[in-house]
Structure 1
Amino acid sequence: MYSCEVLGCMSKINPPELEERLEDGTSPYVLDIRPRKDYQRMHINGSHNVPVYHDLRSGDESEFRKALSQIPQDNPVVTVCKAGIVARKATTLLENEGYEATTLAGGIRRWNGYQNNSLGYRLRATLAGLLP
């Protein structure tokens, strides 16, 4: 189900693939790590917020590790941040703890572009389809 673009041992899922998973009843646990105010302003329906973005960005894993007990291990996890970069750190930490985890490619920005069918999203998707 996940399309894996290998970054070390980490995979990414694109917005259309995530939407399909959310609609087909095999919903992953969507973990949004952005600050609470950003999450409240806009988020993926059904996602869960653990606001550790700034901590992980600065290299501090302690708050995220404290929150691991809130994240189910029996369900795939999709991590989300603003553009997908810091979420990769969360994905790596989850994988190291035995979770099946992946990152939403392009983060909430790409998700919104996909949801709004924006010109920028369509151009990126077309270019990505042309590249090997």
Structure 2
Amino acid sequence: MAGAVPAAENSTAWEAAAAYVSSLPEGFNGIKGEVLKAKLEAGEQIFVLDVRQPSEFAAGHIEGALNVPVRSVPAALDKLPADKNAPIVVVCASAVRSGYVAMALAFKGYTNVKHLAAGYVAGWQKAGYPAVK
């Protein structure tokens, strides 16, 4: 297969992925919409990273969120908190893209990353939580 990495070369990546997956906490690294809303309303300093496309973001997003489309995240790490222990919540429409980005950030050394469980549509918008357009 073109572009495939030989098994011997990707064994280190697989070992890192296996170690990460086996250390996942109960419920993985998701945060429910109501919990995130309560934390934000309480004034907790949470960096919200929205990895949806700009058109999705423009249709509605969590106040204060930074929009960096999923494929642009690697080139935008300088926009994330310098403190790798800072709380970060990654958001996408359905929790798929955000889950991938949350895992990638964990591999990059960020220790307090969660993703919005159920995504923006089901986990925030359908609940009627505040949105900026």
Given the two structures, how large is their TM-score scaled by the length of structure 1? Answer: 0.71
Task: Name the amino acid aligned to 2:38.
Answer: E
2:118 and 2:62 map into 1 onto residues whose CA distance is 14
* 2:58 is equivalent to residue 40 of structure 1: yes
| Identity of matched residues, % | 31
Picking from 71, 80, 94, the partner of 1:71 is 80
The residue number in structure 1 matching 2:124 is 111
Letter in 2 for 1:22: L
Distance of 2:80 and 2:92 partners within structure 1:
16
2:13 counterpart residue number: none
Once the two structures are superposed, what CA deviation does each residue of 1:27-51 show, in whole Å capped at 9, x if it has no partner? Answer: 3100000001110111011111001
Task: Determine the structure 1 residue equivalent to 2:5.
Answer: none
Query: Equivalent residues in 2 for 1:80-91 (5 A)?
Result: 80-91=91-102
Q: Which runs of structure 2 are paired with 1:1-132 in the superposition (5 Å)?
A: 8=21, 9=24, 10-52=28-70, 55=71, 63-74=72-83, 75-99=86-110, 100-109=112-121, 110-115=123-128
Question: What's the CA shift string for 1:66-118, capped at 9, x where partnerless?
Answer: 111100043211000010011100000111112120010011112111226xx
- Higher relative contact order, structure no. (Cα contacts within 8 Å, ≥ 6 residues apart): 2
Number of matched residues? 101
For 2:30, give the aligned amino acid.
Answer: K
Structure 2, unmatched stretches of 5+, are 1-19
Q: Which residue type is aligned with residue 24 of structure 1?
A: A
For 1:59, the equivalent position in structure 2 comes to none
CA distance in 1 between counterparts of 2:33 and 2:73 reads: 24
The code of the aligned residue for 2:36 comes to L
Q: Give structure 1 regions of 4+ aligned residues with deviation exceeding 3 angstroms.
A: none
